[in-house]
């Protein structure tokens, strides 16, 4: 493993393979890298190169180093799709002041699946030919464990007080919208294999992008940015309602969400922040007039898919850096909302709500917002930190926001506890 651009170029070889079975079941023991939706995507393991960044420049350092590494790489790619050849998985802290910074990790082995194509990429960083690998399916435990204890890091009452404080500051004109989050610590009775957690999330939340990077595991419904051969897409979410598990009632709730002025206002801020951040890099940007309602097993969200055509050579990672933090996870206007978060949220977000995803040597890639996630404790396989946040506007109600945060915690809570 190397921490700076390797002295020797990366050597990467991609070959087409026949269907090796479900991607997530290929992950061997050890740190897992994954980006999977509807069974397609990428999984990786081993680590031939790690690029880290800190502070305001965490994205820039990573993006510049990756561009350099990709330019020097020796690539034999027989498949030539986005995600073939060498790739780096990455995850970045929400705040520039976070000690977590950001990391790009280049795995030794990547297996990808897209449409009817499967591929295997092997990578080395010592100038030698990559080592051949044999793929094996590992059986996963799909049933969640019993006996898990969840503890709110901050008393729910105190968090609601912070929401009340934010609402009064919004009414005082300090910001229009701010996203406040809370964290919950999960302690499981038995050590949890993160691969089981990943598989349960992917199974339960198939419309989401299930990810695992550097100990951060989750299933996000929100695509910050995807870049594929010049086409940019972003799925913006903001405006949420809990599901009741009664289909008829949920349909009525979906209709009320689509008409709720509070949620539409919250949503509008988020869409605008994305469209404005994309504009300098794109020729045409297409923003639909009104959002649709995205149905997930636990909640429904107002959603807008923004599309654009890239005008310059910006990579997916550069675009993620330009879009972060969107109003969906920070607020409007951004600098004042970020300050308000620091002042009242009362926690260190770490990599929650930061970009998580992958980039290939051409710059194509997918970067989601790290939501609905657990940060694994590096030392203790019984301990996980979970996060959930809510957009607060003048019309918000603290008790409803607390309930919304609980609904957003459900995916990870359900994967960690029966």
Ligand X SMILES: C=C(O[C@@H]1C=C(C(=O)O)C=C[C@H]1O)C(=O)O
User: Which residue numbers are catalytic?
Assistant: 177, 222
Look up residue 283 and give its two tokens: 């020729």
Question: For residues 150-179, which are near ligand X according to CB under 6 A?
Answer: 179
Which one of the spans 16-24, 43-51, 136-144, 386-394 is the region binding ligand X (CB under 6 A)?
386-394
Q: Least distance (Å) from ligand X to the CB of residue 299?
A: 8
- 408 lies in the site for ligand X, by CB under 6 A: yes
DSSP string, 138-149: -----SPPS--E
What would the x/- binding string for ligand X be over residues 101 to 140, using CB under 6 A? ----------------------------------------
Told to check if 390 binds ligand X by CB under 6 A, we report yes
Distance CA 202, CA 143 (A): 13
357 near 365, Cβ under 8 Å? yes
327 binds ligand X per the rule CB under 6 A: no
Residue 393 in the binding site for ligand X (CB under 6 A):
no
Instruction: Give the nearest distance from C-beta 5 to ligand X in angstroms.
Output: 34
Q: Roughly what angle, to the nearest 10 degrees, separates helices 247-259 and 261-278? A: 70
**46: closest CA among 93, 88, 96, 99?**
88
CB of 73 to ligand X, least distance (A): 35
CB 28 within 8 A of CB 73: no
d(C-alpha 87, C-alpha 316), whole Å:
12
3-state secondary structure (DSSP) of residue 199: helix
Min CB(264)–ligand X separation in Å: 11
Closest distance to ligand X from the beta carbon of 179 (Å): 5
State yes or no: residue 357 binds ligand X (CB under 6 A): no
**Is the distance from CB of 112 to CB of 362 less than 8 angstroms?**
no
**Distance in Å, CB of 39 to ligand X, minimum:** 23
Closer by beta carbon to ligand X, 86 or else 221:
221
Q: By C-beta, is 63 or 330 nearer to ligand X?
A: 330
Burial tier of 295 (Cβ tally within 10 Å: 0-12, 13-18, 19+):
middle
Q: Is 323 an interacting residue with respect to ligand X (CB under 6 A)?
A: no
Distance, in Å, from the CA atom of 294 to the CA atom of 302, rounded to the nearest integer, reads 6
CB-CB neighbours of 383 under 10 Å: 17
Nearer of residues 88 and 390 to ligand X, judged by Cβ = 390
301 binds ligand X (CB under 6 A): yes
Q: Is 73 in the site for ligand X (CB under 6 A)?
A: no
Are 195 and 32 in contact, with CB atoms under 8 Å apart? yes
Question: Which residues 212-271 are close enough to bind ligand X by CB under 6 A?
Answer: 222, 237-240
From the list 140, 372, 385, 413, which residue makes contact with ligand X (rule: CB under 6 A)?
372
| Both tokens assigned to 216 | 């951060």
- The site for ligand X (CB under 6 A) is made up of 179, 181, 222, 237-240, 301, 328-329, 371-372, 387-391, 408
């Amino acid at each position: 493993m190397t921490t700076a651009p390797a002295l020797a170029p990366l050597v990467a070889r991609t070959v087409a393979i026949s269907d090796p079975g479900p991607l997530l079941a290929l992950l061997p023991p050890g740190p897992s890298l994954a980006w999977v939706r509807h069974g397609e995507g990428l999984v990786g393991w081993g680590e031939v190169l790690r690029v880290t960044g800190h502070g305001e420049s965490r994205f820039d350092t990573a993006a510049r180093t990756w561009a350099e590494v990709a330019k020097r790489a020796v690539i034999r790619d027989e498949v030539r799709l986005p995600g073939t050849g060498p790739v780096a998985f990455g995850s970045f802290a929400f705040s520039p002041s976070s000690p977590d910074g950001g990391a790009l990790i280049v795995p030794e082995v990547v297996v990808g699946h897209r449409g009817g194509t499967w591929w295997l990429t092997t990578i080395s960083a010592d100038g030698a030919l990559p080592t051949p690998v044999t793929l094996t399916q590992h059986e996963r435990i799909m049933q969640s464990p019993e006996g898990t204890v969840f503890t709110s890091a901050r008393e729910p009452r105190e968090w609601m007080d912070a929401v009340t404080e934010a609402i009064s500051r919004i009414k005082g004109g300090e910001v229009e919208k701010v996203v406040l989050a809370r964290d919950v610590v999960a302690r499981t009775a038995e050590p949890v294999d993160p691969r089981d957690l990943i598989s349960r999330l992917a199974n339960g939340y198939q419309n989401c992008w299930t990810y695992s990077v550097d100990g951060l595991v989750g299933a996000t419904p929100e695509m910050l940015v995807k870049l594929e051969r010049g086409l940019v897409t972003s799925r913006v979410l903001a405006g949420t309602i809990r599901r009741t598990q009664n289909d008829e009632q949920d349909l009525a709730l979906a209709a009320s969400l689509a008409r709720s002025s509070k949620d539409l206002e919250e949503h509008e801020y988020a869409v605008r922040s994305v469209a404005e951040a994309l504009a300098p890099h794109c020729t045409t940007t297409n923003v639909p007039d009104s959002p649709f309602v995205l149905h997930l097993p636990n909640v429904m969200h107002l959603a807008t898919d923004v599309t654009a055509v890239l005008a310059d050579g910006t990579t997916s990672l550069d675009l993620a850096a330009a879009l972060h933090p969107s109003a969906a996870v920070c607020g409007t206007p951004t600098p004042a909302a970020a300050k308000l978060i620091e002042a009242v949220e009362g926690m260190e977000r770490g990599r929650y709500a930061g970009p998580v995803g992958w980039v290939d040597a051409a710059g194509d890639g997918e970067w989601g917002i790290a939501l609905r996630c657990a940060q694994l404790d590096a030392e203790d396989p019984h301990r996980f930190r979970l996060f959930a946040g809510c957009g607060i506007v003048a019309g918000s109600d603290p008790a409803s926001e607390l309930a919304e945060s609980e609904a957003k915690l459900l995916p990870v809570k359900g994967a960690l506890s029966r």
